[in-house]
Amino acid sequence: MNNTFPDQAISDLIKAEALRQREGLELIPSENYVSSAVMAAQGSVFTNKYSEGYPSFTGLTTYDDSRLAEEILPDKRYYGGQFNTDRIERLAIARACRLFGADHANVQPHSGAQANMAVYHAWCEPGDTILGMDLGHGGHLTHGSPVTQAARIYNFVRYGQKDITTGEIDYDELEKIALEKKPKIVLVGYSAYSRIPDFARMAAIGKKVGALLMADMAHVAGLIVGGVHPNPFDFGFHVITTTTHKTLRGPRGGLILSRGVVSNPLKKTAKTLANIPTLIDRSVFPGTQGGPLMHVIAAKAVAFSEALRPEFKTYAKQVVANTQQLAQEMQKLGFVLIAGGTDNHLILVDVMSSFGVDGALAEEAIDAIGLTLNKNAIPNDPLPPFKPSGIRLGTPAATTRGLKEKDMKPIALWLKAAIEARDNQKELRRLQKQVKEFCHQLPLFSWD
């Protein structure tokens, strides 16, 4: 086989992106750096294989590497040649269940959006109501933004924050809406929220109206498995969806964890809460997806095994410590933080109130010096999404590169200096040089 990469244009772009990642500091809170083992699995020959259907689930809960040689019962696949894929998928499922304390895991969703859609499709009929956090208050596009396909099918109603200076959610309003609208799903989960919600209170409200309790933990999944964020299953939640590439530090993809009885996914199943695992399997395939991406599932299995190691707990703890330290350093410099600070990996800043600059201009200036973050709406933002009042940042990726609390002060100083120098190209170049020198001392991959 020819080992040289034959496509010069793509090869050059890969090298350029590797350099960008090495010479800059990634502060987008939903990004991370995977290990070379995750990369190798994702770039493997499993990309060549079709595996519609599922492996046999028998003996899954105790399945691990030591049992790979065992005979596996006939699978539920539509194509032959599944000897290795069945083992890969069973390992991925068993490891995911161990990480989150789930009865079942579906590792096939291509993304977090697909995972959420599959849960809606598993439990709701068209026109049914789903109660989720308002996108403008930190919720996610797939939780019912009017521009999504889901919003055409289901009736989304929303809750929000009562007090944006503390991040307190308006639980009374949430309960009122739930009692009035009787949602089929109560959905907890956010992509721009820096506090820990009251899972117990939300679970109690959901149970009162007989709803499925669903937690989209895409942002904080790594913190949950690292033991520094509550696990919604401990409060009676039925389903957790997540992406695998954020704090969990795996390949890009989705994952659905559930509690309940696991049975044959090819047989029609009664719509009960106990049957949720099987309803979800049927909803992912054939309900909403075709063939699984087996190379990505292999990489997910690698990432799950890395997250099961004790070092991952140290990593998750450090992410929260770094983010809290960065938040404090930024506050000292005059940055106004939504929710007044952070309990997790993420900081949302009102840069318009802080420095009279919109999020797009702040993002551009900060990008110019080699720090990457994203513009973001703040709750009740008077400005439009492409020029919002805020920026969103966090430390999962920077922590992977080995940064500690002491490194947060220089980062906060660079952030402010870039915003102040936004019209001064010479000063921006000077700051970029400092960032580059700092980053050249850091490793790029996790676990290497």
Whether the CB-CB separation of 189 and 237 falls below 8 Å is answered with no
Whether the CB-CB separation of 359 and 175 falls below 8 Å is answered with no
Q: Is 216 a catalytic residue?
A: yes
Task: Give least dist CB 45 to ligand DSN, A.
Answer: 29
Task: Give least dist CB 264 to ligand DSN, A.
Answer: 32
Q: How many CA atoms lie within 13 A of 19 on its CB side?
A: 6
Q: Is 52 a catalytic residue?
A: yes
Catalytic choice (90, 195, 246, 401):
246
Task: Give least dist CB 293 to ligand DSN, A.
Answer: 18
C-alpha 354/C-alpha 329 separation (Å) is 14
Q: Is 243 a catalytic residue?
A: yes
Residue 159 identity (one-letter amino acid) = Y
Task: Give least dist CB 66 to ligand DSN, A.
Answer: 36
C-alpha 177/C-alpha 156 separation (Å) is 11
Q: Which is nearer to ligand DSN, 277 or 396 (CB)?
A: 396
Task: Give least dist CB 183 to ligand DSN, A.
Answer: 22
Q: Which is nearer to ligand DSN, 92 or 373 (CB)?
A: 373
Please state the separation of Cα 39 from the chain's center in Å: 18
- DSSP, collapsed to helix, strand or coil, labels residue 243 as strand
160: how many CB neighbours lie within 10 A of its CB? 18
Binding site for ligand DSN (CB under 6 A): 30, 112, 140, 191
Q: Which is nearer to ligand DSN, 26 or 407 (CB)?
A: 26
- Radius of gyration of the chain measured on its C-alpha atoms: 22
Q: Which is nearer to ligand DSN, 82 or 142 (CB)?
A: 142
Catalytic choice (89, 175, 216, 329):
216
Q: Is 246 a catalytic residue?
A: yes
Whether the CB-CB separation of 130 and 156 falls below 8 Å is answered with yes
C-alpha 19/C-alpha 6 separation (Å) is 20
Return the bridge partners of 54, or none: 76
Q: Which is nearer to ligand DSN, 113 or 164 (CB)?
A: 113
2: how many CB neighbours lie within 10 A of its CB? 5
What residues have CB less than 8 Å from 10, skipping those under 6 apart?
none
Q: Is 252 a catalytic residue?
A: yes
The residue number with the shortest CB distance to ligand DSN is: 30
Q: Is 375 a catalytic residue?
A: no
Task: Give least dist CB 142 to ligand DSN, A.
Answer: 7
Catalytic choice (252, 317, 409, 422):
252
Catalytic choice (22, 50, 67, 170):
50
C-alpha 31/C-alpha 311 separation (Å) is 19
Catalytic choice (23, 52, 128, 168):
52
C-alpha 91/C-alpha 47 separation (Å) is 17
Q: Which is nearer to ligand DSN, 91 or 218 (CB)?
A: 218
Catalytic amino acids?
50, 52, 216, 243, 246, 252
